[in-house]
Structure 1
């Protein structure tokens, strides 16, 4: 029986689901995992900490009940600029109407005054600058600067609500990617042993290093997912990839910060650079947006998901679809269905990936073993590749080969097992430490046979990575199931 036919492996492309009111219960979380979710995202910009704590507890309960490793991504809010409260909750912006943006809520005197607590916003804006609201659905142009305020005229009409996001393309506002609230969230989430942190509004590699230093201070092994959603981040892409553990193509704010006509090309550029550097990449935002209120996606959305997979995404993320949508489980199932239809079209990588390799990548010995393993598994038509790993690095490198052979990532470190939930084509498994490769191979083979994943005559390739065996050697072992 094909491994991919079993519930153990849903898709090679991993699915990330954002948790919200539509998906917070144990029952719904269970349904999402059974539909194909491998990682859960907590949006730290919304919700109280007691709510997040309860959700983390439920995720871990579901993980234990289903005997599946589930990773948790704490997505930090970052320095997102937002509107303050609006009288009545919203206002309709008609073309040609003038509004004042003021710094302090107390300074708002009239019905056309909009507030923002971000002091630098008004200071940095100049006449002629464009201010985008609600992810670019509403736009205004600055016509006049006043003391503590700017006067803008609406050029793209629409409704804006309290707390709506503000983007100012081309204007660099001071400050790093971590706010005071973010630091508090990092301390809290690290204390709850989350697996990944999403770093929002990264502009430069120093932003990633700042979070890395904080995680080291907290003795946290959590990995950093740098979100590319600013024009400056696109310019510093290679340097950011070098510093981060993973990258997210955050198309929402990115599509406001740069010309939306460039989004597809920039997405492909980011994914290609990540593949060359062998860093996992998540493509996110509006993947199946219409499924917030519809049981089926549009044809364009289905094509978008498929193309993101063909581009080389390791994972795809659902946001509002699973957080507040009417059909969260159906959205995950649909994404999985598209992935299963698309993945057979992906060509395995033979030999090294052309382009620049990350200095963080493994040694040439492991490089050679990974490439040889992928080629060998294809040539002997292996049923399974087993990767025994302490830190998950060899499993990650093998995932970037895009082998057609299913890969089991095996570790006795639970954090490593959860972390491998992000790696394309790798199914993570927790096993207690083995004394040697022979014992490990026997135990895993017995485990797989009990689940009808292996049958007599099937061939298995075992990669024993550094630090797993007592000798610490890297090796490839080929075995035929008796």
Structure 2
């Protein structure tokens, strides 16, 4: 059986460095990426439509498919445009104008507009205001009718459309903005598989997005990005409401004390596995490789820790949008994940709570596959439910081959740890479908298995007039 098998999935963010057909081919075939992320904070609708079509064209040509995730901005606060960048000075008084008009600046005081006209109603004097991933720190000194006046504590450059963080402050922005809805409309037209919502604060934020998708008859899955203290306080209910979770460590590390970030990450991964939801670790994973061809040793350890924690996915952002070495970044993640996964104990798997009889049957299937030593699991699904539970059990060195006749489900399973999905036609007779699945395993682009290999097959069989769930131990002929 084919055993050089990576369970941890790789997400890359599409940008100028990777948007050409040639680079997409390299990322998909050589880099082995599983999901393509579109960051709508920096994307036009024209570009988005173009690259969605391009990704799918390249996938068809190379006969290897990736899922598409649209990352919508959510309730984000940004500065407006400036005639030229400002170099702030320590102790300087600086204004943030909430009415969108820089002509109202007082003489001798510099300032910038913000995109949230109610910002001055949500903050208090003494609050901390951070700009551009925390590189600039200010303290709010005075709140006026049309502006917030701050004092610069840690100076730095102020450019156009810089992101603003307000640690510990709950802003009353809507969970889904008009821009988000317009962006989502583009994704809906092209039936993309995932929508990631930024700055999720509570479960209701996800319910709003889910109702919006349902109103457009979309079965796309929702990924909740946790990025502030509110999300951490409501973590369990957010995971329950979401289809998957992304630990977005950039803003999260600004909004929360940075020394707590590793503990938050570990807690989030563990909670997602227990709730049988995929979890993504994102941001700054290979930041140095934006400019350098090899990773720092700390970055290697960071990725390894995410794999040791059994996160479903690791994600690349700036490394593949504007970086000089995007394919090398994917290769680095590949190498680290495979090496760490090979080091795990053979009989190691997650002891998650399973209440339904069918779910308990899946645990028995994992036991059997691991006891067989070099057996795979074959499962048939139309919803992705059974592979998702098998994935949450995290069977060591046991590939989960999931077969479906639903194209959307096929691509959505690309996010799941350890699941290798296949799209096939289901026959009326289950035995015909099983044989077709076996043939696909040893006759495709990759030889996943060979005749003589053992498979634990999870399927239903017809007994008299009843259909019952079954576990079969089968040898490929």
TM bucket by the smaller chain?
over 0.9
> What is the rounded CA distance, in whole Å, between the counterparts of 2:62 and 2:348 in structure 1?
36
Equivalent position to 2:226, from 225, 228, 235: 228
Q: Aligned-pair distance for 1:248?
A: 0.4
**What is the SS of the residue equivalent to 2:112?**
strand
> What is the rounded CA distance, in whole Å, between the counterparts of 1:402 and 1:193 in structure 2?
29
Distance change in 2, residues 1:96/1:471 (3 Å): farther
Equivalent position to 2:155, from 154, 157, 160: 157
> What is the rounded CA distance, in whole Å, between the counterparts of 2:82 and 2:346 in structure 1?
53
Q: Aligned-pair distance for 1:87?
A: 2.2
Q: Which residue of 2 aligns with 1:42?
A: 38
Greater shift in the superposed pair: 402-411 or 456-465: 456-465
Matched, 1:374 2:370: no
Q: Which residue of 2 aligns with 1:394?
A: 386
Q: Which residue of 2 aligns with 1:428?
A: 421
> What is the rounded CA distance, in whole Å, between the counterparts of 1:309 and 1:252 in structure 2?
19
**What is the SS of the residue equivalent to 2:23?**
helix
Equivalent position to 1:204, from 191, 202, 205: 202
Preserved contact between residue 13 and residue 39 of structure 2 (Cα < 8 Å): yes
Preserved contact between residue 16 and residue 40 of structure 1 (Cα < 8 Å): yes
Matched, 1:19 2:14: yes
> What is the rounded CA distance, in whole Å, between the counterparts of 2:201 and 2:361 in structure 1?
36
> What is the rounded CA distance, in whole Å, between the counterparts of 1:347 and 1:437 in structure 2?
34
Q: What TM-score, normalized to structure 2? A: 0.94
Q: Which residue of 2 aligns with 1:262?
A: 260
> What is the rounded CA distance, in whole Å, between the counterparts of 2:476 and 2:143 in structure 1?
76
How many residues are treated as equivalent by the alignment? Answer: 468
Q: Which residue of 2 aligns with 1:384?
A: 376
Q: Which residue of 1 aligns with 2:184?
A: 186
Q: What TM-score, normalized to structure 1? A: 0.93
Q: Which residue of 2 aligns with 1:408?
A: 401
> What is the rounded CA distance, in whole Å, between the counterparts of 1:438 and 1:422 in structure 2?
28
Q: What is the correspondence of 1:67-216 to structure 2 with a 5 Å cutoff?
A: 67-88=63-84, 90-107=85-102, 108-109=104-105, 112-216=110-214
> What is the rounded CA distance, in whole Å, between the counterparts of 1:101 and 1:172 in structure 2?
18
Preserved contact between residue 461 and residue 476 of structure 1 (Cα < 8 Å): yes
**What is the SS of the residue equivalent to 1:69?**
coil
Q: Aligned-pair distance for 1:446?
A: 2.1
**What is the SS of the residue equivalent to 2:251?**
helix
Q: Aligned-pair distance for 1:152?
A: 1.1
How far does the alpha carbon of each residue in 1:182-206 deviate from its partner, in whole angstroms, 9 at most, with x for none? 1122222112101000011111111
**What is the SS of the residue equivalent to 2:219?**
coil
Q: Which residue of 1 aligns with 2:411?
A: 418
**What is the SS of the residue equivalent to 2:329?**
helix
How far does the alpha carbon of each residue in 1:392-445 deviate from its partner, in whole angstroms, 9 at most, with x for none? 111111111221211211101111100010011111111101223321221122
Greater shift in the superposed pair: 385-394 or 363-372: 363-372
How far does the alpha carbon of each residue in 1:97-129 deviate from its partner, in whole angstroms, 9 at most, with x for none? 221111123244256112112112122222211
> What is the rounded CA distance, in whole Å, between the counterparts of 1:214 and 1:106 in structure 2?
33
How far does the alpha carbon of each residue in 1:26-77 deviate from its partner, in whole angstroms, 9 at most, with x for none? 1111111111100000111112111111100011112211222311001101
> What is the rounded CA distance, in whole Å, between the counterparts of 2:449 and 2:116 in structure 1?
59
What RMSD, in angstroms, separates the aligned Cα atoms of the two structures? 1.9
Preserved contact between residue 139 and residue 154 of structure 1 (Cα < 8 Å): yes
Q: Which residue of 2 aligns with 1:481?
A: 476
> What is the rounded CA distance, in whole Å, between the counterparts of 1:215 and 1:370 in structure 2?
31
Matched, 1:30 2:25: yes
The runs of 5 or more residues in structure 1 that have no matched partner are none
Q: What is the correspondence of 1:206-355 to structure 2 with a 5 Å cutoff?
A: 206-347=204-345, 353-354=351-352
> What is the rounded CA distance, in whole Å, between the counterparts of 1:335 and 1:102 in structure 2?
43
Preserved contact between residue 381 and residue 459 of structure 1 (Cα < 8 Å): no
Equivalent position to 2:454, from 459, 469, 479: 459
Distance change in 2, residues 1:387/1:424 (3 Å): same
Q: Which residue of 1 aligns with 2:2?
A: 2
Preserved contact between residue 411 and residue 430 of structure 1 (Cα < 8 Å): yes
> What is the rounded CA distance, in whole Å, between the counterparts of 1:471 and 1:181 in structure 2?
51
Q: Aligned-pair distance for 1:471?
A: 5.8
> What is the rounded CA distance, in whole Å, between the counterparts of 2:132 and 2:42 in structure 1?
16
Greater shift in the superposed pair: 190-199 or 110-119: 110-119
> What is the rounded CA distance, in whole Å, between the counterparts of 1:41 and 1:454 in structure 2?
31
Q: Aligned-pair distance for 1:351?
A: 7.6
> What is the rounded CA distance, in whole Å, between the counterparts of 1:225 and 1:126 in structure 2?
32
